[in-house]
Structure 1
């Protein structure tokens, strides 16, 4: 079915093809060239990230993180169940046991108050997922990591241009707080390159090795900097870095970051103001932004009381050519992992799986289209 208003529409700034053409004409399109460096420098200078390394996906960045913290069979990794499969898969591939944490009652993100009880002598890492670009309680998570000598890998796939405010008032970009962080530039994200991602290395102990893993397990980058007289296979690794074509596309997006963010946040605010009264009358939960978090306009969602009510809203929009979608299915109840899960009930995770609905959100969503969606939802009797 073709929709008059799709759920997502990739935004093109108009410079993508120009920069891709320029990359091709330089004669180097295999990666780690001009545009890779421009993008990495942008992120480092704009947000204060540590070492930035573009990857072909956020999944790749997560897999690099699992290698870097030396996940071994039997290690335990704590993360939310309400997340995309890549968050878990990266660590499962190294033999880890995943210990899933339930969501918060006012936000789909992981409940930091439940983490400490899940820590055992086998715990190696905590992987907070900043759902909808809204920060987890990083002050509490980092305190636990320091107390129990654990690594923190921020899954910031949706969290570009989002921040966390610590109790002392210090404000830091998400992705700068954990030992490692990962980002996505998939076509559904705020800033895109079709597929694409980035690993951020904030802990200096991982910086040299990260580059080797990124370069297929070789010290090739050191060779090209003149630090060694030849390069060879020195560690495990894979082909994680993207081509210059992907990086060139991404650079066109980064040049327009502020414009894109301003528009998305405007759309988010329009939804919020237009739906808040209807939501209150029908006992529907709206997105919650904690005082320590910011809103990057990545996603607008509604949480209904049950699946039946959500289905009514979906059908109302669909009948008018508008696509709305639900999101993650609980990983602890997935066909692959349900028999490996420790049996704990995670009721809030299941609630979000059954009741959360995402509304269309993309740069070119017009005021008229946004108002049409708001009007139709206000007509839904629940």
Structure 2
């Protein structure tokens, strides 16, 4: 292997993107709601089993729709992990609700069900698990919590297309689920997302909120002669150009997921001797979870070790990346939300976590190179 830079991420391209985009241009139907949108939404329904899928501009946009549908507002609390992207919190804070940040499990970096249970108060309205790295949270425990306390269960499955829990696709188990098709995800269209509606009673209102509070979905379906403004709404539908690009990606979901899992397994195998020697940890995938190979993360004892590892890998031509700052320690998180408990695991993650190159097409030699570089770095341990 040469020392030419291997990037941390490179967006997948199926080969049909340009052709589908040209079809959209030739049809001169560039606004939202055309044939490419319908085909994408149908594929998402077929994959997830959702009652309805609605394309959005982003997963953030989908979470904002979910927040409106849930009815949260001032005085309400929403429980979510502190170790997540800002959108998980801002979608609900924009409605006036208070994000309540809880700790994550140290092995998976997913929300700790026990911490979530301890944070429930009479003001709690929703529970928002985040499936980190495309590995499912403990949905059995979280569903029981939601049922027991009559909470909205809303899955932030931004990273989880193609992953499942006990055979159920992620995003399909809460009343609502959200997906991301940002350029950094397994499949993408630059910027994009989807709202999955799993409760049939929410479909009609979701369609109204999705398209500026109007009955335009019913108009397009031929059920009414003229649409009207009837509710709150967001401008959520993406253009046909985004949908055309996304369709070319969604059609290759199985292939992309398989290839990413193979790369994940290659990393796991190459690094196993270093894990067994106690030199580092890799993220755990529980036996009842089928992941999608979105992230391969390494956890070190402290920030010094992590930084040395990143520098050594960079010298070998491998670009790596850190990840989130915990929201409960951020200025906005402290202003708009509150932490429940000390959150010892989430608090230490920014200094310990390192993500390896993980994309469709990473050269086959990379996992062994990573293992060799880290083995040489930490006391000469070699696979």
TM-score between the two structures when normalised by the length of structure 2: 0.95
- Which runs of structure 2 are paired with 1:202-351 in the superposition (5 Å)? 202-339=198-335, 340-342=337-339, 344-351=341-348
1:254-307 CA-to-partner distances (Å, cap 9, x unmatched) read 121122111111111110000111123244111201122112111101110100
**Contact residue 82 and residue 353 of structure 1 kept, 8 A:** no
Which residue of 2 is the match for residue 168 of structure 1? none
Q: Alpha-carbon deviations, 1:157-207, whole Å to 9, x = none?
A: 011111111xxxxx3111110000000011111111111100000012211
Is residue 3–residue 323 contact of structure 1 (8 Å, CA) maintained in 2? no
SS at match of 2:308: helix
- The aligned counterpart of 2:84 is 83
Distance of 1:349 and 1:257 partners within structure 2: 31
Q: Is the CA contact (8 Å cut-off) linking 1:180 and 1:200 kept in structure 2?
A: yes
Alpha-carbon distance in structure 1 between the residues aligned to 2:287 and 2:13 = 33
Q: Partner of 1:299: helix, strand, or coil?
A: coil
1:343/1:288 CA distance change after superposition, 3 Å = closer
Shift of 1:109: 0.6
Q: State the alpha-carbon separation in 2 of the partners of residues 16 and 355 from structure 1.
A: 38
Q: Equivalent residue for 1:198?
A: 194
Contact kept in structure 2, 1:180 and 1:201, CA below 8 Å: yes
Q: Cα offset for 1:342? A: 4.5
Distance in structure 1 (CA, Å) of the matches to 2:269 and 2:339: 42
Q: Deviations over 1:7-58 (max 9, x none)?
A: 0011211110100110111121111111111111111112212210011100
Cα distance in 1 for residues equivalent to 2:368 and 2:299: 20
Task: Describe the SS at the equivalent of 2:359.
Answer: coil
Q: Which residue pairs with 1:358 in the alignment? A: 355
The corresponding residue for 1:369 is 366
| 1:140-165 C-alpha deviation (Å, 9 max, x unpaired) | 11111111111000000011111111
Q: 1:125-204 to 2 correspondence within 5 Å? A: 125-165=126-166, 171-204=167-200
Out of 365, 377, 381, the position equivalent to 2:378 is 381
Farther off after superposition, 333-342 or 144-153: 333-342
1:92 and 2:88 are equivalent in the alignment: no
Q: Work out the CA distance in 2 between the residues paired with 1:72 and 1:62.
A: 14
- 2:67 maps to what in 1? 66
Instruction: Tell me the matched-pair count.
Output: 376
Q: Aligned Cα RMSD in Å?
A: 1.4
Give the drift of 1:3: 6.7
Partner in structure 2 of residue 121 of structure 1: 122
SS in 1 for 2:248: helix
For residues 83-115 of structure 1, the C-alpha deviation after alignment (integer angstroms, 9 at most, x for no partner) is 000100100100111111101132211101222
**Does structure 1 conserve the Cα–Cα contact (< 8 Å) formed by 2:279 and 2:378?**
no
Question: 1:343 offset after TM fit, Å?
Answer: 6.4
CA separation in 1, counterparts of 2:368 and 2:31? 44
Equivalent residues of 1:50, 1:176 under 8 A apart: no
Superposed counterparts of 1:38-53, under 5 Å: 38-53=39-54
Shift of 1:344: 2.7
| Secondary structure of the corresponding residue to residue 122 of structure 2 | coil
The secondary structure found in structure 1 opposite 2:332 is: coil
C-alpha distance in structure 2 between counterparts of 1:223 and 1:232, whole Å: 9
Q: Is the 8 A contact 2:56 2:237 kept in 1?
A: yes
Task: Note the residue ranges of structure 1 that are not aligned, 5 or more in a row.
Answer: 166-170
State TM-score, norm by structure 1. 0.95
Judge conservation of contact 1:76–1:122 (CA < 8 Å) in 2: yes
